[in-house]
Each structure stands twice: as structure tokens, then as C-alpha cells.
Amino acid sequence: MPIPTVSPITVPGAGSAALRRRVRELTGTGHVLHAGAQAIYARFGDRVVGVAARGAVQVPATIATALPVLPAVAVGSPAELRDGTLYVAGLAVTVDRLVPTDLPRLTEPVTLPTHDLGQVRDQLPGSALLALAAGDPAAVRELLGRGDGLTPVGDDVVSGWLVTRLALGRPVEAVAAAVREHAHRTTTLSATLLADAIEGEAIPEFRALLLALAADRGTDEAVSRLLAIGHTSGAGMLLGAHLALSSNPERTPR
């Protein structure tokens, strides 16, 4: 059903060029998938578009705003994309400012500091992690949808692997095809973020880590900021980076 358009609050936001293009191209109604004071995600078909408050994690599918908190809205409430604007929770949100998402080119060898990632590893099949390190697409079926978090930690590992491999200039086609095939195993939000990872997009904290690795400075600080993201999301992406960078999967950190 169409969204009421009585006096929505116009809110300028920031996002990637791909997100701005998606918001302009997608037209139609959807519904609220997740609602919170810091982020609201709405589903449109098999994709998710969201809006985030100031200071919230800016996932590639989310328009970042300067709002301190977002209005309360019930899950299942209507949302709409029309004329390049996301209408949700009484807001009319647009992508007015573009944020950089291009990846640095990593030149091997790349050294990533070791951290205790046992909390992530213990939720996932060790054989699947070894397979992913080797670029085996069979790993995807065992990892997608596994583990805790709003985005399952297995998905975060795969996302980190995809984006890091793209930064290295290594092929990802086989794993990307497996992600598309098995996307039904995870949540719609996580499937959207995996689709973004296939295109080389990640949260700013992960991109900052890749930039630090490329510049060979500030890596420890970048890792600390990444590990602070979510309960296990940042740690999962970091493990994915380790797997992508490791020529010897047995040596990736516990």
C-alpha cells in the first residue's frame, strides 16, 4: 500500500555512488525489516536500503544522516522508494553527498597484525574456513547464515574475504557465484551486504584497514576500530581478510 506523504521530514544523507544509483533506479513500495534508534532497514524485493543516525555503522546499503536518533517505527511498516528518495518512518531521505568506496590496490606481501579471533572461529566449521582461504567456492554453502549477529558472522567472514581479494587483484568469480546461489541461506540484509562486497564495497572501518595496509602505517589503530564494530561483525571481517591474505591457511590466527 502507498506510504502517506503528509509532511515528511526531508533529511539529506551520504552514501556511495552505487547506493545513490540504486535509490534512483528502484521504484516501489517495501516494508521495514529492522527498526532501531540508530538504523532502520527496509526491504524492496531482494534488496535492502536503510537509513542510519549519526555515529551508527554505515553499511554500504545505508544512507548516513546527521540525525542523533531515528524516529520509532514498527517492523512491517510501509516504506517507499520514489524519485531518488527513501520514504520511511516519516522521513524523506536522499543521498546528497557521496562517500568514497574505491579500494586501494594491495601489493603482496601484506602483513596483517595477529589478533585473537577464536570467538569467530569457534562458531564456524574449520574445514570451511580452510576452504575459503584456498578460494574454494564450496566453503560458501557452509558459512552463509552461520553464527550470531544481525549479519551472521559466517557472512562477515565471506564479505571480508571478497573485498580483500578484490583489493589484491585476485579472482573472486567462483566464490561470488556461490554467494549468489546460496544467498537464500542468510537474511535479506546480509544477502544485500554480500552483494555489495562482491562489488568491492564494505563498511568504512574495513576500507580504512585496507588503506592502512596499502600505506603500511596505522594498521594497529585501524584493526582496533574494526574490532569495535558489532558483537562479532568486525572480527568476522578481519578473519576474512586474514584468510584472503594467507598463503598458508593453517597459520591464520586463532
pLDDT one-digit tens code per residue, 155-195: 999 999 999 999 999 999 999 999 999 999 999 999 999 99
Of 143, 123, 119, the C-alpha closest to 133 is 143
Residue for cell digits 596505522? 218
Does the residue 103 lie in any domain?
A: no
Domain holding 47, by residue range, is: 9-98
**pLDDT (tens place) for every residue of the chain, 254 residues total:** 555 556 899 999 999 999 999 999 989 999 999 999 999 999 999 899 999 999 999 999 999 999 999 999 999 999 999 999 999 999 999 999 999 999 999 998 898 988 889 999 999 999 999 999 999 999 999 999 999 777 999 999 999 999 999 999 999 999 999 999 999 999 999 999 999 999 999 999 999 999 999 999 999 999 999 999 998 999 999 999 999 998 544 344 44
The pLDDT, as a whole number, for residue 183 is 96
Beta carbons within 8 Å of 251's beta carbon, 6+ residues apart? none
Torsion region of 169: left, alpha or beta (phi above 0 gives left; psi -120 to 50 gives alpha): left
pLDDT, residue 111, reads 87
Q: Are 186 and 65 within one domain?
A: no
Q: Does residue 162 sit in the same domain as residue 60?
A: no
Instruction: Give me the sign of the Cα torsion angle 96, 59, 105, 162.
Output: negative
Indicate if 133 and 247 belong to the same structural domain: yes
104 lies in a domain?
Answer: no
Report how many domains make up the chain: 2
212 within some domain:
yes
Residues 254 and 238: their CA atoms lie apart, in Å, by 12
131 lies in the same domain as 67: no
